Amino acid sequence: MYDRYDGLIFDMDGTILDTEPTHRKAWREVLGRYDLRFDEPSVVALNGSPTWRIAQHIIEQNQASFDPYVLAQEKTAAVKTMLLDSVQPLPLIDVVKQWHGRRPMSVGTGSESAIAEALLTHLGLRHYFAAVVAADHIQHPKPAPDTFLRCAELMGVAPQKCVVFEDADFGLQAARDAGMDAVDVRLL
């Protein structure tokens, strides 16, 4: 099915790993410290965005005056304490295993590199991927195409010869803007 591609790129959160419940729990914990709330559908719409961008959205929703980078750091710290014990692979990991050794593969994620590397290593999945490109590795994260273009570069594959597996609109836009085909895993 994916024989025509020279490289496979996977989003992480919600695509190959079930991290969403843990991310929401961490947001509730951190925001509760400041009596802030978040509208879940609007935050879900930002999936694939870096944490600081989601923090900025939440701050604006609450008409609060916080530094989005500081709030994002607090949320990341909360997530780190929760993720390793709670996250499991999603069924798409079978595609990763099936194509391992047959095509170069990478992860292009909106998460920070420390979280991505820790999760993939903890779950015994890191060895499947030639590269992991996280939000803190590039200047312009999703929906900009930079994450996926960097993945292609690190795999040594032309962007137009790559396919991206994504679960978020921002990620699908980034793949299209990178000149790559994309699979919306929500439709699988």
What are the tens digits of pLDDT across the range 139-159? Answer: 999 999 999 999 999 999 999
Is 11 part of the annotated catalytic residue set?
yes
CATH of 20-86, one of 1.10.150, 2.30.30, 1.10.1740, 1.10.10: 1.10.150
**154, 147, 141: which is closest to 182 by C-alpha?**
147
Residues 6+ apart with CB under 8 A from 187: none
Q: For residue 109, what are its two tokens?
A: 């994620």
Domain borders along the chain are: 7-18+88-187, 20-86
How many CB atoms neighbour CB 166 within 10 A? 26
Query: Which residue is catalytic, options 3, 6, 11, 184?
Result: 11
Residues in the chain: 188
DSSP assignment of 8-74: EEE--BTTTB--HHHHHHHHHHHHHTTT----HHHHHTTTTS-HHHHHHHHHHHTT----HHHHHHH
CATH of 7-18+88-187, one of 3.40.50.1000, 3.60.70.12, 3.10.350.10, 3.30.450.20: 3.40.50.1000
> CA torsion, points 107, 16, 20, 88, in degrees to nearest 10?
-120
Report the side by side order of strands in the sheet with 181-184.
131-133, 105-108, 7-10, 162-166, 181-184
Tell me which residues of the chain have a pLDDT lower than 70.
none
pTM (whole model) above 0.75: yes
